Chain A
């Protein structure tokens, strides 16, 4: 039975697209058939982060409007042949995304894949609500900052009321993915603590992704960090998050609470 996952946040720039790519690739490394779907019509980025931008011919809007078959729009990853991308349109506007069309595409993807990862646009408007509507599982990407936490809280409220599952009276499974976690800043106390974020959002923690140059580098070379640097701290953190997503009970280790004096001094120097 395929699982539809929405990667969402409310706030922009917290790492939804990067996380979608990294989690999708890590799931595929585990042998699952995965498709990552870009819902950010007009501001598509997932193709760049996946390194598939030169191979985009058709996009989701073409499929919805009947100009192309789903099979024609899907782009198979060059590194992992059980990983595919369904790109968004860069030229159309959001209104081309219809509720009925999205329902049809998602239903078709469910038949072909084990995991359908939907990369939601920022905001709480149409694009975001359509991306979350058919999801079975939501991954709420949050930075340890007050504004991001509040926006995530708002999104969780919408997940509990606007999704197809909620409308049927069922509960959508929700997970928190804490990204851009800066151990040096946490040690100085100028960032929200993991415990505080969990207390406010009260949903289970899927993983903590440390802030890292490796993530930036991965995006620029068009490769998910779990493929380009699987042994780096963020690469390992995403791989562990995927093991939890697949149902493994794996303890989350909070990086900052183990920071010693040396790295604290180092952190000050950097700042």
Chain B
């Protein structure tokens, strides 16, 4: 998915944003880590090479395990890039690290260039199927795909995701914090769906919903899949 840029005469410097996941551990850490392991076992590779920010708001200081938390997370392949709300937890300076690791999210082809040209655009329309290995990320609003999202492909949007085809890969809506975002698809065969950081893998989905036209929304902290129409 290389985009070949023609040589420019002027050097342009542009702002660039990228998405980081926020992980919020809760005390007691032993149990939280066990839950995390279970989650990772169900969805291996979910955190792989993704930048993660740790939110320590739930900690008031003195909870056991915070001193080894960073190592615990790294052992699970989670690359921590920063920490927030760490006022009560001492010794978190080494957690803030220069941006190494993380992952190039991959370029979005022509469609992405279109929105770069019109910065006010709040939705992105792709008129083609998203193929295995491709990742489409839209950080401004809703994403609409006319076609299917293949197994091994991934679509991420700040807002809702509409797929007029079969969703076989991953769809992550409300990716920058958006509990009201929803995912719609003509046919659900997804590997993973997520809204506002809450996710559901294929094994955890209601099997009766597979193969059907559905919408997925967030109710509290649970994803609800319901048939469309």
State whether A154 touches B131 (Cβ < 8 A).
Answer: yes
Residue of B nearest to A199 (CB): B166
State whether A200 touches B2 (Cβ < 8 A).
Answer: no
With A200-B150, A200-B168 as contacts: A150 and B132 at CB distance below 8 Å? yes
State whether A153 touches B131 (Cβ < 8 A).
Answer: yes
- When A and B form their complex, what is the total count of cross-chain residue pairs whose Cβ atoms lie within 8 Å? 39
Question: Chain B interface mostly helix, strand, loop or mixed?
Answer: loop
A-side interface residues, number (CB < 8 Å): 15
**Contacting residues, chain B, for A200 (C-beta < 8 A):** 148, 150-151, 166, 168
Residue of B nearest to A203 (CB): B129
Q: Does B102 contact A (CB under 8 A)?
A: no
Chain B nearest Cβ from A172, distance in angstroms: 13
State whether B4 touches A161 (Cβ < 8 A).
Answer: no
**Contacting residues, chain A, for B128 (C-beta < 8 A):** 160
State whether B168 touches A202 (Cβ < 8 A).
Answer: no
Q: Does A94 contact B (CB under 8 A)?
A: no
Q: Which of A131-179 contact B (CB under 8 A)?
A: 146, 150-151, 153-154, 156-157, 160-162, 167, 169
A167 to B3, CA, bound (A): 8
Residue of A nearest to B166 (CB): A199
**Contacting residues, chain B, for A157 (C-beta < 8 A):** 1, 131-134
Chain A nearest Cβ from B2, distance in angstroms: 7
Q: Does B178 contact A (CB under 8 A)?
A: no
Q: Does B152 contact A (CB under 8 A)?
A: yes
Q: Please encode chain B, from 109 to 121, with 1 for each CB lying within 8 Å of some chain A CB and 0 for all others.
A: 1100000000000
Chain B nearest Cβ from A269, distance in angstroms: 33
With A150-B151, A157-B134 as contacts: A167 and B168 at CB distance below 8 Å? no
State whether B132 touches A153 (Cβ < 8 A).
Answer: yes
Q: Does B147 contact A (CB under 8 A)?
A: yes
A214 to B128, CA, bound (A): 39
Residue of A nearest to B165 (CB): A202
Q: Which of A191-230 contact B (CB under 8 A)?
A: 199-200, 202
Residue of B nearest to A10 (CB): B132
**Contacting residues, chain A, for B129 (C-beta < 8 A):** 202
With A154-B133, A156-B131, A202-B129 as contacts: A161 and B2 at CB distance below 8 Å? yes
**Contacting residues, chain B, for A146 (C-beta < 8 A):** 151
* From A146, A150, A169, A199, residue with most partner B Cβ within 10 Å: A150
With A161-B1, A161-B2, A162-B2 as contacts: A202 and B132 at CB distance below 8 Å? no
State whether A150 touches B166 (Cβ < 8 A).
Answer: no
**Contacting residues, chain A, for B133 (C-beta < 8 A):** 154, 157
**Contacting residues, chain A, for B166 (C-beta < 8 A):** 199-200
**Contacting residues, chain A, for B134 (C-beta < 8 A):** 157
In addition to A153-B132, A199-B148, 4 A-B residue pairs with Cβ atoms within 8 Å of each other are A150-B150, A154-B132, A157-B131, A200-B151
B binding-site residues for A, Cβ under 8 Å = 1-2, 4, 109-110, 128-129, 131-134, 147-148, 150-152, 166, 168
Interface pairs (20), CB distance under 8 Å? A146-B151, A150-B132, A150-B151, A151-B132, A153-B131, A153-B150, A153-B152, A154-B132, A154-B133, A157-B1, A157-B131, A161-B1, A161-B109, A169-B110, A199-B148, A200-B151, A200-B166, A200-B168, A202-B129, A202-B148
Pairs of residues from A and B, 5 with the lowest C-beta to C-beta distance, nearest first: A157-B131, A153-B132, A154-B132, A154-B133, A153-B150
